[in-house]
Amino acid sequence: MGGYTIPAKKEIYNGVNYDSQLEAKMAKILTTNGIEFIPHVWIEVEIDGAKVFRGADFFMPRAILPYFVNSFINVIEVKGCLTMEDYKRLHAMKQEGISCFIALPQLIEFWEVPGQFIKHKMGKIKKRRTKNDTDIDF
């Protein structure tokens, strides 16, 4: 597959193991801004004609509109750099009606500044099936 990757060092924040320091920063931003979220959710999507489960770094039951994002979102994926697989995941979630955004390090750094993360919040949307066969509100 190839592609450029940035090594990630795992980090714990508020008792949760995150795959990278960048993910832990994002968790801190969400927490600091009072955003309810569930880390590491597996969501059923269709990719290349097959139903599969794909992980989402942060799921927000109430859609949010952060700065520099042009629509309300329920999922934030944190990436050090992008791959074609990331675009496929983003497209698959969009096809399933899940609003997803991929946050890169530069934007996360901006969002860390107090008052520079959230523009708006909205209500819960609808239920979706997750990998462990539980329903969560989207």
pLDDT tens digits in sequence order for the chain, 138 residues long = 444 455 678 889 999 999 999 999 999 999 999 999 999 999 888 888 888 888 899 999 988 999 889 889 999 999 988 888 888 888 888 888 888 999 999 999 999 988 788 766 665 545 555 555 555 554
Pair 108, 78: CB distance under 8 Å: yes
Strands 100-103 and 73-78 turn out to be parallel
**Would you say residue 23 lies in a domain?**
no
Residue 61 in any domain: the answer is yes
Q: Does residue 13 belong to any structural domain of this protein?
A: no
Give the pLDDT confidence score for residue 23 in this predicted structure: 95
Please give the residue range of the domain that contains residue 102. 36-137
Whether the CB-CB separation of 90 and 71 falls below 8 Å is answered with: no
Residue 49: what pLDDT?
85
Write out the H or E segment, with its range, that includes residue 88.
Answer: helix 84-95
Q: How many domains does the chain have?
A: 1
Question: Is 17 domain-assigned?
Answer: no
Q: Is residue 24 part of a domain?
A: no
Q: Is 14 a domain residue?
A: no
Quote the pTM value: 0.78
In a domain, 31, yes or no: no
In the prediction, which pLDDT does 3 show? Answer: 47
Answer whether residue 1 is part of any domain.
no
The confidence score (pLDDT) of residue 16 equals 93
Question: What integer pLDDT is reported at residue 21 of this predicted model?
Answer: 92
CB 15 within 8 A of CB 31: no
Q: What is the pLDDT of residue 128?
A: 52
pLDDT at 135: 53
Q: Using alpha carbons, select from 56, 33, 36, 7 the residue that is nearest to residue 112.
A: 33
Say how far apart CA 83 and CA 52 lie, in whole Å: 18
How many whole angstroms from its chain centre is CA 91?
A: 14
Would you give the DSSP letter of residue 48?
A: T
